[in-house]
Amino acid sequence: MEITDEKLLKIALVTSLIGIIGLIIFTPTIEVKEIDIKDINRGMIDEEVKIDGVIHDISQSKSKSSYFLTINDGTGQMQLIIFKTQAAELQENHLDITDFKNRKVEVVGKITEYKSQLELILSSKDSLKIIS
C-alpha cells in the first residue's frame, strides 16, 4: 500500500478532528488542583491552584491599583493579589473587598513570585467565593 499525499492529508484531517473533539469533551472535566499553602513551592510558579482559607488582613497598594489579602488555611498563609479591574468586577456583583475579611473563602489563582515571596494572583472575579 502506497501512501500518497491525498491519503496523508486525510489521515492528518481525521486525526486532527479526533483531537479537537477530545478537547471539547474533556476540557470541562479538568479541575484545578486543590492544595494546602504549606505545600506551595517555587516549582509551582505559573500553576493555577485552589485554596480554601480565611482572609485575615486586607490592604490596598499605595497606587490604589491592587489589593493584598492575607489568606490562611491553617497550614500557612500567603498574599492574594486582586487587581483594580477584578475588584471593580466584584463590586458589580455587590461584593466589596472588605466583605471578605475574617470570612472563609475558596480562591483560585495563579502562583507567582514577587521580591522572593510566593503570591497568588486571583484568576477572575468568579475565582473568589465566600464559603462561610
- Alpha helices (runs of H) in 1-132, residue ranges in sequence order: 5-26, 84-92
Write out pLDDT tens, residues 11-59: 999 999 999 998 888 877 677 889 999 999 999 999 999 999 999 999 9
Average of pLDDT values for 88-114? 90
Range of the domain at 24: 1-30
- Give yes or no for a contact between 98 and 58, defined as CB atoms under 8 angstroms apart: yes
* pLDDT at 29 (0 to 100): 67
- Predicted model pTM: 0.74
75 and 101 both lie in a single domain: yes
How many angstroms separate the CA atoms of 131 and 56, rounded? 15
* pLDDT at 40 (0 to 100): 95
> What phi, psi does 65 have (nearest 5°)?
-95, -10
DSSP letter assigned to residue 125: G
Write out pLDDT tens, residues 111-130: 999 999 999 999 888 889 99
How many angstroms separate the CA atoms of 68 and 57, rounded? 8
Look-up of cell digits 475588584? 87
74 and 18 both lie in a single domain: no
How many angstroms separate the CA atoms of 34 and 107, rounded? 10
Q: How many domains does the chain have?
A: 2
How many angstroms separate the CA atoms of 91 and 47, rounded? 27
15 and 76 both lie in a single domain: no
